[in-house]
Amino acid sequence: MRFLTALACSFLLAVPSFGQEEGGLKKLWDVYFNDTSKAAKHKIIAYPVIGYTPETSWEFGLSGLFVYNPKKDINNRLSEISALAFVTLENQYGLWVDHALYTDKNKYFLLGRFRLQQFPLLYYGIGVETPSEPVALIDGFSFTLRQRVLRKVAKNFYTGLEFDVNHLSSVKIQEQDSEFSPPPGVEGFTNVGLGLGLVYDERYNVLNPRKGLFVEGGFLHYNEDLGSDYSFTNYFLELRYYQPTFKNQILAYQCYVNSVAPYKDSEVPFNQVALMGGENLMRGYYLGRYRDNTLVASQAEYRFLPFPFSKRFGGTLFGALGAVSPSIPDLNVNQVRAAGGLGVRFLLFPGKDIYTRFDVAFTNEGVGYYLFVGEAF
């Protein structure tokens, strides 16, 4: 069992934003606890990260976040780039980069992620009827690059191309259980996908939406002509809605559907099927605890940002339901898993309305802890 999902150290080391002069310890203190900078000013934050899991031992890293308004114009939506670099005592490593970028006048929307890592994952099997403990620890070198390049075609509407590159090699299977059956892709692969996406986005701040609707739908097709070892299509549809209730209180809702369909006699690699769990949706479950060709999940969260009695501290209550199955028609109520929890928020940058979140999530399989900058969705 994964004892600790993620734990960042309690003291944050700041990098002052662009254009600030040197100011010593007081400057660092002001960046975090007395942020009076203008809303349009760029912001950078960096902090060390410490974590522990049985499969990786101790993990040490550095995380960073850069947020800005294009052209320093607050009429342009807030853009963000986040990064994490880490190493473990078991000679594992990783580099993660995520971004949600708008250009001037919000003309283009660039949404993507990058992963390069030598890192193990716990494999429980395919489907909802899997053992309570992992049947194998799969270690290998992986590379992922997914990018959406979307252009505004009408107010809040964006459409464009999406592409994805997935690579897995140097695979070592450890702690193999007698119930372990090698899944497709465990020997390694390279898959390249190309597709189309359509987005409707009313949000202003992607790290802390307070109102509006976000909808994304699209597909990615992988085949040999693009350089893939496997041929299949990945379909996805997501809806997020944010409704202000009382002062500084928001009811947030998310629904997500992901389904993959193999082409002819091909299969879908075990780590490119739909995965349940992680730090955003179905918190409390290890990412990939349940996996299959189809995932349907939803969650609701009530946010106090901040509490009525505080200027910087807030909190949340959240609950989620999700299920995996071979296909959408195969879904049934017995496959549904539940998760819920609560979180504490600290207003990191008042000028940009960005909070740090610490969430504790509960499931019938255990507890998950999460510390990140920005809301889960």
Across the chain, mean pLDDT equals 90
Q: Could you give all domains of the chain from N- to C-terminal order, each with its CATH number?
A: 24-373 (2.40.160.50)
Q: Whole-prediction pTM value?
A: 0.87
Q: Would you say how long the chain is, in residues? A: 377
Report d(CA 127, CA 210) in Å as an integer: 36
Q: Using one digit for the tens of pLDDT, what is the confidence trace for 42-78? A: 889 898 988 877 777 899 999 999 999 999 999 999 9
Residue 315's identity, in one-letter code, is G
* pLDDT given for residue 40 in this prediction: 67
Q: What is the DSSP secondary structure assignment for residue 21, as one 8-state letter?
A: P
Of 40, 42, 16, the C-alpha closest to 29 is 16
* pLDDT given for residue 38 in this prediction: 60
Q: How confident is the model at residue 26 (pLDDT cuts 50, 70, 90)?
A: low
- Given a cut of 90, whether residue 17 has pLDDT beyond it is no
Q: Using one digit for the tens of pLDDT, what is the confidence trace for 281-331? A: 999 999 999 999 999 999 999 999 999 999 999 999 999 999 999 999 999
* pLDDT given for residue 320 in this prediction: 98
* pLDDT given for residue 69 in this prediction: 94
> Pairing state of beta strands 108-123 and 189-201?
unpaired
Q: Using one digit for the tens of pLDDT, what is the confidence trace for 203-249? A: 999 999 999 999 999 999 999 999 999 999 999 999 999 999 999 99
Tokens of 219: 């597909």
* pLDDT given for residue 41 in this prediction: 82
* pLDDT given for residue 3 in this prediction: 36
Of 79, 49, 42, the C-alpha closest to 64 is 49
* pLDDT given for residue 179 in this prediction: 77
Report d(CA 161, CA 220) in Å as an integer: 9
Report d(CA 93, CA 159) in Å as an integer: 35
Neighbouring C-alpha atoms within 13 Å toward the C-beta of 88: 19
